[in-house]
Copies of this chain bind each other. A is one copy, B any other.
């Protein structure tokens, strides 16, 4: 309960002091203040600055103690050497938590920065004030219209995905990149150097947070390896924990040291970590978002036997190769399914084997529907991937064929809910000419249709296969644990 109350003040503060904002709009603190106002933060905002009485239309206070109200959370954006004093002032005012934006601490690799960070940590501990940062962007929580990252354009809608990030830039990019895929967040935390609250603290909170169903994270190094491992292991059994571990080799490790002062840890240690915890390992932000899509849209565990439905032999081959390279399987269909398919497919140029080749690019909507439904009943198949590269082909011939294409593309949207197996859509990326921008617009509209219908959609089979494999592997791990528990 204590923990819960503490974090509530961080994610749902009723009042927020911004220390370091000024009438100079190029300053970081001022930028954040502006963002908060534009984003419609629901609590009260108190700018603090000794040299002015008003900032961006808000009454400004010379010091924290002049604020005639309690304050839940402080945002500190003053130069590094001034941070310890300001943090002390926050504690004196009775503020329970502070986000320290400022850089120039342990990540500099210099003695001075290290000392300063230790001092901040000591004040935090002695005065009992929780610190997020330094060298971070802090919190984005749409439910309270709170965004400390530069998020005036982030979604105002809440969702069930949380994202924990050592990197501020990544917290920002995830919020923006995920929007188009209709991924919405419960909470996003950029915690930087983690001199006080760290990845494990937030993970423990998110494990119990009812708003959060899926947890993504970007980790460079952890403060307490054993505690983190144990926590991930436990939390991952309740909610999938997807981890992008940054800094695996020489250059990457050099980068994390200068980024958040983290020690990356040896490669083998992390490999063992993922094996033990069963957390989902991803290699980059794209794969993280791609994987979240599967967890979000596919409600129940599924196996790795995939049926591919596409058009054209080359595309069928590449799709099967991509699935098999990722570690999925593309098994033969049952004799019964193949027989049924043969009756539905063109006599020449098609293939009723898995991968299924529809033959010509203009399948009729009714056959397409029957084909998908037939395959979904094959007991040897766990999930269906449909591959559509034809958008540009039809788009340039739109006076003749576009309406047919639109009818075909609506079929999976219409039948997805009644299928007994998960369906994943590949709608290949459009050509990159400026002249094809309107085709890109059509691509985006179709993407929205599928996303709204609960169908994960990707630009390539490779990306889909990687994401699906992550999902399958997660559930295989869960099953193994349960089995071990029963028999062990």
User: Do A80 and B321 have beta carbons less than 8 Å apart?
Assistant: no
Instruction: Knowing A248-B325, A286-B460, A353-B254, say if A314 contacts B170 (CB, 8 Å).
Output: yes
| B167–A312 CB distance below 8 A | yes
B180 touches A251 (CB 8 A): no
Chain B residues with CB below 8 A from A250, complex form: 324, 329-331
CB-CB under 8 A for A255 and B313, given A348-B103, A434-B445, A445-B434: yes
Q: A313-B169, A348-B80 are in contact. Are A320 and B258 (CB under 8 A)?
A: no
Is the CB–CB distance between A255 and B357 below 8 Å?
A: yes
Q: A285: which B residues are within 8 A, CB to CB?
A: 318
Check if A13 is an interface residue, CB within 8 A of chain B: no
Contact of B254 with A332 in the complex, beta carbons under 8 Å: yes
- In the assembled complex, A40 has its CB within 8 A of some CB on chain B: no
Question: Given A437-B437, A437-B440, A441-B434, A246–B314 Cβ distance below 8 Å?
Answer: yes
A256 on the interface (CB 8 Å rule)? yes
Asked whether A209 is an interface residue with its Cβ less than 8 Å from the other chain, the reply is no
Binds B, one of A60-68, A171-179, A227-235: A171-179
Would you call the interface of chain A mostly helix, strand, loop, or mixed? helix
- For A433, give its contact among B107, B256, B315, B444 (CB under 8 Å): B444
Given contacts A249-B324, A324-B252, A348-B80, contact A179 B433 (CB under 8 A): yes
Given A80-B348, A431-B176, residue A258 in contact with residue B353 (CB < 8 A): yes
Any B CB within 8 A of the CB of A158: no
Contact with B along A325-364 (1 / 0, CB 8 A): 1000111100000000000000011010111010000000
Cβ-defined partner of A108 (8 Å) among B169, B348, B447? B348
Smallest CB gap from A434: residue in B: B444
Tell me if A317 counts as interface (CB < 8 A to partner B). yes
User: Within 8 Å CB of A169, what residues of B?
Assistant: 311-315
Contacts of A325 in B (CB 8 A): 248-249, 283
B322 and A284 form a contact (CB under 8 A): yes
**In the assembled complex, which residues on chain B have CB atoms less than 8 Å from the CB atom of A247?**
317, 320-321
The reply on A396 being an interface residue by CB < 8 A is yes
Residues of B within 8 A of A389 (CB): 173
A196 contacts the other chain (Cβ, under 8 Å)?
Answer: no
A-B contact pairs, 23 of them (CB 8 A): A104-B349, A107-B313, A167-B312, A168-B312, A169-B313, A169-B314, A176-B392, A176-B393, A244-B318, A246-B321, A248-B324, A249-B321, A250-B329, A250-B331, A252-B330, A254-B355, A255-B320, A256-B317, A283-B321, A286-B462, A433-B444, A437-B440, A440-B440
**Beyond A173-B389, A285-B318: 7 further Cβ-contacts under 8 Å?**
A107-B313, A166-B314, A218-B314, A251-B355, A255-B313, A255-B357, A284-B460
Closest 3 CB pairs of A and B: A251-B330, A259-B313, A167-B314
